[in-house]
Structure 1
Amino acid sequence: MTDDIYQNYTTESKEESDDRQSLYEDYRENVATSQTTGINQEPQSTGLPQGRKRRSYHYCTGYFNQSYQPQKLQVNRTPDKNSPKIIIALSHQKTKTNLIPIGSRRYRLAAVGLGLLCVLLLTATTVLWIQFNHLTAERDQLQTSYTNLTAERDQLQTSNTNLTAERDQLQTSNTNLTAERDQLQKERDQLTKVLLELRWKYFRSSLYYITTEKKSWTESRQDCQKRKADLVIINSGEEQEFISKEFGNAEAWIGLNDSKTEGVWKWVDGSALTTGFWWTGEPNDYEGNEDCGVTGYKGATSGPSTWADFPCHHPVFGICERISK
């Protein structure tokens, strides 16, 4: 049996094999001695160093049975003297700790590693799936936003096209109006030149003319009417300033009188006087015979207020006004 055990463990290094062979020879020698003397003996030294022998012995006993601890060898003789036999009993005591074979440990480690790898793979797959769902939702949201922005862009392009067309139309209209304005400006300049030659003055859509002969209020009005005009009607301070500036050096009739009712001054169109520019102390109806109004009174020393009442037959110039239509 010992030979069988020895033959089963031959896969070790040369040094371990030599140690095991030495220990085995000591064991056989001990058995032979026990047969002749009948005394149990421990294996003898093989001449190896003490540390080597001790290590080899335990190494060998450990290999004889990895699950058990070997005890002392018991050698007994049989009572039969004619055929002495040696019964070698090798008692074993089961240890509390069972050693795991190296191959089985490797398989377990490989199984544990494979299990961990599967867990990691499952976790990574779950994380990637969640990320994929999030990315899909974001992609759909971005696609919707892109569609909305595309629609808005198309709408803005349409609006821009319409506005561009309107702008071009307005530019064309502006060009035409500018040309018309320039034409009218040219015609106005030409007309102003003609009017100046005819002694007409232009102010706020009206033409003004002062007669060249001194006549009564009635005769001066008739001269204006011959020119398709009438004696001037002054409605604002700006108009009075214009007349004072252009015709202020001469006393001249204006279209104002109180011939029908004393003190009730009216214009030639029948409208009542609302704003007057009388000089100080005027109108005074001197000697009860002053019923017609003049501007440019020589007694007025300053300012636009130069009106006074004169006798209607008194000869002075007349200021005519033609309203442009």
Structure 2
Amino acid sequence: MGRMGVLFHNNSGAKLYPGKGFYTALAMFLPLLVLTILGQRSLGILVMTGALLTSFGDVGTSPRTQAWSLGTIAVGGALITALGRLIGGPWWVEIVEIFLMVFLSGLLSVYGQAAAVVGLLLTITFVISLANRSGSQTSLPAAGGFLLGGVILMLFMLLFAWLQSHRSRMRNEVRSNRPQPRRTTLTAQFTLPPPLLRFSLLRAVGAAVAAGSGWILGEAPFYWATLTVIICTQQDQKVSLRMALQNVIATFLGAFLAAVLIGSVQNALVVGLIVVASTFLAFAIKELNYFLHLFFFTILILLLISIKMSGQSLAVWRVVTILVGAGIVLVITFLSQMPSTQKRTVSS
């Protein structure tokens, strides 16, 4: 029971952040509402997607750090979105592209945690872009929508920080006096430790296997399995196992509740309000409790898809793909232990 309790515990030092939930929901759905009224619903969906994916780059404690990270993800995500739609092709070509992207992004951690987060988010954006299969003619509109969504999210974040500045001025002054970490240039001592190289290679192979399974079956939502591998595979094996198990349980519970809502709530306005509420809760609690974040995020994603697909539920498919992805993470974790075990055997 103690070990199971770790899955649901709050992150040490983190706290509930209602402001983040508020401006994320506002940045996602206000442009969608306005553009839908103007007859540009397709663009509104692209803008909403850009705001959603950019929101995961909201790391840091000061508005300047947050703006830098969000701006990087907004611009980089727009370029990666265009690239994914331009180079998409046969499923076997896309598998090779995913392998290379995941492998290279895994190596970015030599430049620090911030670079690793940016690489992770851009890889996720790349996989989603490939899964769309909308053709190269949609690359520019998709990139523009992503960039607009990212910029809107960043502006809402800065506006909210400005409105709340009188409450956090002293706290920000304390933080500003702290020594800032030195930024490492791209040419400074680029070395690849064997554990990092092995980790990046295994994660890339796992992501390629997950993508290959989905593309062979012809089911676009199977990219959820690929994303599970990318997100949950960590260098710390215990963290990988915990995140995989959290994804499975939170997805199952969230998908069950989403399926009930999709089957019982027929009013589009009510569904929309639930989606907005789920967005607020998912991002307000994101830093505090990863499990609850996944729970509300699963509800958010499935309800959004149900609106687009006229009430069709993909709850079961979501659970299946997460299970496949989590299974691959377990295999990667097992394989990552083998070299160290062999070394101990030889040394003894």
TM-score range normalised by the length of the shorter chain? under 0.3
Scaled by the length of structure 1, what TM-score is found?
0.18
Q: Which has the higher contact order (CA 8 A, sep 6+)?
A: 2
Whichever of the two has the greater Rg, that structure is 1
